Amino acid sequence: MQKTIDYCEGYSLDYLIHALFICVGAFFLGIYYLFPAIMIAIFAILLLFVKSGIEIDVSKKLIREYKSIFNFKLGPWLEVMNYRKILLKYTRESQVMNSRGRSTSVNTRTFDLILIDENEVETPIYEFSKYKMAMRVCRQLEYSFNMVIKDEYKEMRKRADQFNTKNKDSR
């Protein structure tokens, strides 16, 4: 059996804005001090190579969300022993940004992995952008730690299909 299982979602771009501002600062610093500006710009570019994911240590019964850069992973471990349920929560957010004469709508879909203990206390673990990856992690947790999955997204799709079928029949 594998000791740790890694589910990497890839480059997160969580630090894109930070890197942009650091590069702008490095540019202005470079006017007077070239070497420190180059070092700061390299640091900003390295921020673009940060990957995110979730790691499961089956033998020690631990799970963590991590950020990694060049395979060096950072993130606190959480014991899974007291958790009995996995909640996969679907979140859809929409924002409208108005600009001179135009408005742009931005939609975001995430699948939140939440662990629930015996006292029904919810502990958020990770926000996935892809449903398939979230389900792979849920199935691994179910298999490795004997947890029960509650998939809100699947239930919502099932209700929508039933509603659509009911409307087609009434026509």
> Do 46 and 70 belong together in one domain?
yes
**What is the structure's pLDDT at 115?**
93
- pLDDT recorded at residue 51: 92
Same domain for 46 and 94, yes or no, is no
1 and 61 in a single domain? The answer is: yes
Cα separation values, 47 from 3, 9, 36, 38, 148, Å: 29, 16, 17, 14, 37
| pLDDT for the residue numbered 170 | 63
Question: Are 67 and 91 in the same domain?
Answer: no
Residue 155 has pLDDT above 90, yes or no: no
Are residues 161 and 88 both part of a single domain?
Answer: yes
Distance CA 63, CA 141 (A): 9
Query: What's this model's pTM, rounded to 2 decimal places?
Result: 0.77
Query: Residue 5: is its pLDDT beyond 60?
Result: yes
> In degrees to the nearest 10, what's the CA dihedral of 114, 116, 117, 119?
130
165 has pLDDT over 80? no
87, 171: one domain: yes
Handedness of CA 120, 124, 130, 132 (dihedral sign): negative
Tokens 């995430």, residue? 110
Indicate whether 50 and 100 sit together in one domain.
Answer: no
Asked if residue 15 and residue 1 are part of one domain, the reply reads yes
Q: Say whether both 71 and 27 belong to one domain.
A: yes
Q: Which residue has the higher pLDDT, 23 or 2?
A: 23
**Is 54's pLDDT higher than 90?**
yes
pLDDT of the residue at 168: 67
Domain count, the chain: 2
pLDDT at 62: 92
Note the pLDDT of residue 22.
Answer: 93
Whether residues 8 and 67 fall in one domain: yes
pLDDT digits (tens, 9 = 90+) for 105-143: 777 888 999 999 888 899 999 999 889 999 999 999 999
Quick one: 66 and 95 in the same domain? no
Q: Are residues 59 and 30 in the same domain?
A: yes
Residue 20 domain boundaries: 1-79
pLDDT of residue 157: 84
Domain boundary, last residue among 57, 79, 101: 79
Q: What is the pLDDT of residue 13?
A: 80
What three-state secondary structure class fits 12?
Answer: coil
